Homo-oligomer: A and B are copies of this chain.
C-alpha cells in the first residue's frame, strides 16, 4: 500500500478500482476513527496516540475467516466497514451465529482479559475492514486511566446484559416471538416504551435470512414460514430484505 502509516481508506477495498480514485481517496486517520468510538471518546490525543501505536488494519474478503475457535487472542477488533458474524460450529457441522457485528462495533474485548483461546469463530459476511488493537496497549491504558477502566467495565457489563437477554429469549420465547422481538428492536432501536412513531416503519434486515435465522436460533425454513405467517395476518409486508411493519401495536402484543 502506498499510503501513509496509520491511515484508512475505503478506496483501497479489494476488488474495487482503487487506482482510478486514488487521488481523491477519502483517507481517514486511525486516530480520528478511534477517537469517535464511544469506547475511546473521552481520551486525549496522547492516549489515542498510544492506542493507535498498538493498532493495525486488516482487510477481509467476504466469506473469509478472521479467527477460529481455538486461536489465541492477542487483542480485539473494531469493524470499520463491512460486517462480521461470530458463531460456533457443532462437531456435526451445523452452525449457530451468536452475534452480527457492523461498522463502529467491536468484538473480542472480553477474551483479552482471559488467558484463553477463542470459543467462537469470526467470518466476514461482506468485504470488511477491521482494526485490531493489541491487548497490551489496552492493558497499559487501563492501568493509567481509571475512567477508561470504568468504561471498559461498562462495555463488558452491557455485553453480558445482552447475552442474558438472549438466553431469556432462547429459553422461554417461541421462534415467532424471537422474530417479532428482532423486528421491533430493529425498528424502534431498543426504545421499548416509545409511544410515538405509530406510523408504519421499515426494517432493512441486517443480514441474509439464513444468518439472521441462525442468530435467532431457528432454521432458515422456519424463519421464512414465520415471516409469511406474520404477513398473512397483515402485521408486516416483506419485499426482499425490506420488512415494513404495518401495525406496530398489534405486532408488539401478538401472541405466538
Contact = CB atoms under 8 A, between A and B. Distances in A.
Interface of A: 88, 90, 94, 96, 98, 110-114, 116, 119-120, 139, 142-144, 146-147, 149-150, 152-154, 156-161, 163-168, 170-173, 217
B161 A111 contact: yes
B163 A163 contact: yes
Contacts of A111: 157, 161
21 contacts: A88-B168, A88-B171, A90-B172, A90-B173, A110-B161, A111-B157, A112-B157, A113-B150, A113-B154, A114-B161, A116-B161, A119-B165, A144-B146, A149-B150, A153-B153, A156-B160, A163-B167, A167-B167, A167-B170, A170-B170, A170-B171
Mostly helix, strand, loop or mixed at chain A's interface? Answer: helix
Given A94-B172, A163-B164, 7 more contacts: A88-B171, A88-B172, A98-B167, A114-B158, A142-B146, A149-B153, A170-B170
A150 B142 contact: yes
